């Protein structure tokens, strides 16, 4: 396994050299106290998330580790290029798939991967989002296996979450260790809310009646697992946080109720799933969306970020075709690698997966949050047998991948530093004018020794991610 901090015992890799010198002179007892202070800070300001289906633990803190993950400037430049290439290809793919479907005509992806996919919305066929942007906010999950080996684990193009933790992690580290930020040239992330507002405003319809674009954040409400983030981002952007009851459609516009009456909205940053967005078009029982909003959207009178139907781009059934998608729309080979993937819908792949279940990671095509997956090397014989039955019953519902030897970054334990596996979710903002990639992102860490599952819902924690300047 590649240790991102240490090349050998007491020999730090270059990005960590200054930090390691500092850490070696610190009192472990004092550092553990700082770690407890960080937890108290998160609890005080209410940084929690909900765990669905677990009534005994409605709200939890995401554990925070005070040892940062550090990425060198040259490493980050390569990641930036690869991420931007991928995001631009995804936007081009979404426009194509909801219009002429040239990539299917060219035989680069099979028609059934789109036609039979519940993430594909026929209601979006022929619709042109304002500015031509489908994915305004993207979270690209990356894993590392070596000094120059990065893989894209998945593309989060629907409603990626976690950016509030990235920002609060940094704020916490600045408060606890200000001397480190004078010692190391760490690139800031605090501009994210300003850049988010700019990207959304730049994506507003051109025919707005407002002198400046009006941006609002649509939340399902306080019981949603990411409600803290919804309210946090609205506050940081200076935008209104709204629920469905605050909104209605009048004269071909979506308007929100204010103390001064109704105000037209230009951009709705929605944190509501497609199925609940418009009860007149999708789920008729939805109480979370706005009746008639799709008519307003199709008329070009509001921007919805991210656009409805973007989920097809981050669907795991489509993931294995991403290198072809990148090449088809950019004319270039993908800079960032995909993890090799077996599509269980294919007979030969299914046969291989069933024969090698103890060695593989198997995921639900529509699963998220670490649910509905099997990590073969960590599973019991009973768990493998139970999963095999599900796989045989509905093979098209699964993909499988090799168990990668993920890189590690140390966490602070009672005994000192101990390596744990990590991934990284950089956040990307897209507007008609530019692509902004925040230098860093959310590092998620598997706190259990040997575990590869970093999701907060499965016991993972987070770290601050430091990208060094030149």
Phi/psi at 216 (5° precision): -135, 155
Least confident of 364-373, 378-387, 411-420, 433-442: 364-373
Q: Would you tell me how many other CB atoms lie within 10 Å of the CB of residue 178? A: 10
Q: Is residue 76 scored above 90 in pLDDT?
A: yes
- Pick the more confident residue, 421 or 371: 421
| Residue spans of alpha helices (H) in 98-202 | 102-105, 112-115, 163-176, 178-183, 192-202
pLDDT classification of 56: cutoffs 50, 70, 90: very low
Q: What is the pLDDT of residue 49?
A: 56
What 8-state DSSP symbol labels residue 310?
G
Least confident of 27-41, 50-64, 103-117, 240-254: 50-64
Q: Is residue 441 scored above 90 in pLDDT?
A: yes
Q: Is residue 9 scored above 80 in pLDDT?
A: no
Q: What is the dihedral of CA 320, 321, 323, 329, to 10 degrees?
A: -160
Q: What is the pLDDT of residue 440?
A: 94
Q: Is residue 376 scored above 90 in pLDDT?
A: no
CA distance 158 to 155: 9
C-beta of residue 152 within 8 angstroms of C-beta of residue 142: yes
Instruction: Read off the pLDDT of residues 324-349 as tens digits, 9 standing for 90 and up.
Output: 999 999 999 999 999 999 999 899 99
Q: Which helix (H) or strand (E) holds 347?
A: helix 347-355
CA distance 240 to 19: 40
Phi/psi at 282 (5° precision): -110, -120
> How many CA atoms does the CB half-sphere of 194 hold within 13 Å?
4
| C-alpha closest to that of 309 among 117, 153, 467 | 117
Q: What is the pLDDT of residue 38?
A: 87
Q: What is the pLDDT of residue 451?
A: 81
Q: What is the pLDDT of residue 370?
A: 56
Q: What is the pLDDT of residue 4?
A: 97
- Pick the more confident residue, 91 or 40: 91
Instruction: Read off the pLDDT of residues 141-170 as tens digits, 9 standing for 90 and up.
Output: 999 999 999 999 999 999 899 999 999 999
Domains (range + CATH), the chain = 67-168+189-205+302-335+421-467 (no CATH), 342-402 (3.30.1490.270)
Task: Summarize the confidence of residues 448-462 as an average pLDDT.
Answer: 78
In sequence order, what are the residues at sequence separation of 6 or more whose Cβ sits closer than 8 angstroms to the Cβ of residue 76? 439, 467, 468
CA distance 66 to 22: 14
Which three-class secondary structure state does DSSP give residue 429?
strand
Tokens of 70: 């550090």
| C-alpha closest to that of 375 among 278, 436, 432, 450 | 450
Packing angle, helices 347-355 and 381-393, rounded to 10: 170
Q: Is residue 78 scored above 90 in pLDDT?
A: yes
CA 351 to chain CA centroid, Å, is: 32
C-alpha to C-alpha distances, 19 to 26, 65, 186, nearest whole angstrom: 11, 15, 11
CA distance 303 to 167: 26
Tokens 């409805």 locate to: 308
Q: What is the pLDDT of residue 185?
A: 95
Q: Would you tell me how many other CB atoms lie within 10 Å of the CB of residue 2? A: 15
Q: Note the pTM of the prediction, 2 decimals.
A: 0.92
pLDDT classification of 86: cutoffs 50, 70, 90: very high
DSSP assignment of 193-238:
HHHHHHHHHHTS-TT-SSSS--EEEE---TTSTTHHHHHHHHHHHT
| Ramachandran sector of residue 339 (left: φ over 0; alpha: ψ -120 to 50; beta: rest) | beta
CA distance 142 to 230: 24
Q: What's the CA angle centered on 108, arms 104 and 114, to 5 degrees?
A: 45
Burial environment of residue 170 by CB neighbours within 10 A (0 to 12, 13 to 18, 19 or more): buried
Average pLDDT, the chain: 92
Q: Is residue 124 scored above 80 in pLDDT?
A: yes
C-beta of residue 14 within 8 angstroms of C-beta of residue 75: no
Which three-class secondary structure state does DSSP give residue 416?
strand
Tokens 């989002």 locate to: 129
Q: Is residue 369 scored above 60 in pLDDT?
A: no
pLDDT classification of 57: cutoffs 50, 70, 90: very low
C-beta of residue 124 within 8 angstroms of C-beta of residue 142: no
pLDDT classification of 315: cutoffs 50, 70, 90: confident
Sign of the C-alpha dihedral computed for residues 14, 15, 18 and 24 taken in this order:
negative
Task: Summarize the confidence of residues 194-215 as an average pLDDT.
Answer: 95
Task: Summarize the confidence of residues 63-88 as an average pLDDT.
Answer: 96
């Amino acid at each position: 396994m590649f240790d991102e901090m240490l090349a050998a015992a007491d020999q730090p890799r270059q990005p960590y050299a200054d930090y390691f010198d500092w850490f070696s002179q610190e009192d472990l007892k004092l550092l553990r106290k700082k770690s407890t202070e960080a937890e108290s800070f998160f609890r005080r300001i209410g940084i929690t998330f909900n765990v669905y289906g677990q009534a005994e633990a409605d709200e939890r803190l995401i554990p925070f580790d005070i040892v940062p993950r550090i990425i060198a400037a040259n490493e980050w430049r390569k990641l930036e290029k690869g991420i931007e290439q991928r995001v631009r290809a995804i936007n081009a793919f979404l426009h194509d798939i909801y219009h002429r479907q040239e990539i299917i005509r060219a035989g680069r992806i099979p028609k059934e991967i789109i036609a039979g996919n519940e993430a594909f919305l026929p209601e979006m066929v022929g619709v042109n989002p304002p500015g031509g942007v489908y994915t305004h906010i993207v979270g690209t999950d990356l894993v590392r296996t070596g000094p120059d080996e990065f893989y894209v684990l998945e593309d989060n193009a629907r409603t990626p979450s976690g950016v509030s933790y990235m920002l609060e992690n940094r704020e916490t580290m600045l408060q606890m260790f200000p001397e480190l930020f004078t010692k190391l040239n760490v690139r800031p992330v605090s501009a994210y809310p300003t850049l988010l507002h700019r990207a959304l405003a730049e994506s507003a319809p051109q025919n707005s009646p407002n002198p400046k674009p009006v941006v609002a954040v649509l939340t399902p409400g306080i019981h949603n697992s990411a409600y803290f983030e919804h309210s946090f981002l609205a506050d940081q952007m200076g935008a209104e946080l709204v629920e469905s009851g605050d909104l209605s459609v009048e004269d071909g516009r979506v308007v929100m109720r204010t103390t001064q009456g109704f105000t037209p909205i230009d951009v709705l940053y929605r944190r509501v799933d497609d199925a609940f967005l418009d009860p007149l078009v999708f789920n008729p029982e939805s109480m979370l969306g706005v009746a008639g909003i799709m008519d307003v959207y199709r008329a070009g009178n509001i921007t919805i970020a991210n656009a409805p139907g973007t989920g097809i781009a981050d669907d795991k059934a489509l993931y294995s075709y991403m290198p072809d998608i990148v090449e088809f729309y950019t004319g270039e080979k993908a800079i960032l690698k995909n993890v090799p993937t077996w599509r269980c819908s294919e007979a030969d792949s299914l046969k291989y997966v069933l024969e090698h279940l103890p060695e593989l990671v198997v995921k639900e095509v529509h699963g998220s949050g670490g649910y509905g997956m099997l990590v073969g090397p960590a599973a019991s014989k009973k768990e493998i047998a139970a999963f095999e039955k599900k796989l045989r019953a509905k093979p098209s519902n699964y993909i499988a991948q090799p168990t990668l030897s993920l890189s590690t970054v140390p966490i602070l334990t009672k005994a000192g530093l101990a390596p744990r596996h990590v991934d990284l979710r950089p956040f990307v903002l897209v507007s008609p004018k530019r692509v902004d990639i925040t230098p860093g992102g959310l590092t998620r860490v598997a706190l259990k020794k040997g575990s590869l599952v970093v999701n907060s819902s499965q016991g993972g924690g987070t770290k601050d991610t430091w990208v060094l300047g030149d």
